[in-house]
Amino acid sequence: MPGTTTKAIFTAEDLGAIQAATGRDFELVRGELYEVTPPTGIHGYVQTRMASHLMQWADEHDAGDVFTESGFKLQSDPDTVLGPDVSFVAKGRITDEQMDRGSFPLGPDVAVEIRSPNDTWAHLERKAQDYFGAGTKLVILIEPRRFIEVLRPTGKRRRLGLDDVIEANDMLPGFRCRVRNLFPKENR
């Protein structure tokens, strides 16, 4: 039919091939590709700090694995594959075979997203809903240098300022991190 266009719908397998062929990073949301731009310095700093705090806790408690920007296939037909800035998956949920393949076929237990200058808060909120739809139990959204929000699938949320402490004893028993400690020294 003249004037009709169709939108290309991609799969999780297509995503891996496209990334390998182009050398660029993408996320897949309901079959549509979205290029992920390189993060800013503050983003990388906060990501590293959050991952190292979580990793230390996970190692001390033999609780599971911590990842940065690893893909999780959250939905199929059409596929959604997101790579949270930081994620935690409880011990025993990921096999060695899955570690060597493309995206993990599950939602992380905890997903952390850090707002970049080109992100809107609404975009992060939509990602949180995608994680919750795949079984994620805790999402932490970070506004660098200002605050974080801890979200639950029930809709419950808690905003934490610089002097507050991140705790989620039901998901991360014994994990404690002062929000201020995620940011550069001028915020500490």
Higher pLDDT, 116 or 37: 116
**Neighbouring C-beta atoms of residue 140, cutoff 10 Å:** 24
pLDDT one-digit tens code per residue, 77-107: 999 999 999 999 999 999 888 888 878 999 9
How far apart CA 84 and CA 79 sit, in angstroms, is: 16
Give the CATH architecture of domain 39-187. Answer: Alpha-Beta Complex (3.90)
The pLDDT-based confidence of 25 (bands split at 50, 70, 90) is confident
pTM value surpassing 0.85: yes
What average pLDDT does the segment 44-70 reach?
96
pLDDT exceeds 90 at position 68: yes
pLDDT one-digit tens code per residue, 110-158: 999 999 888 899 999 999 999 999 999 999 999 998 999 999 999 999 9
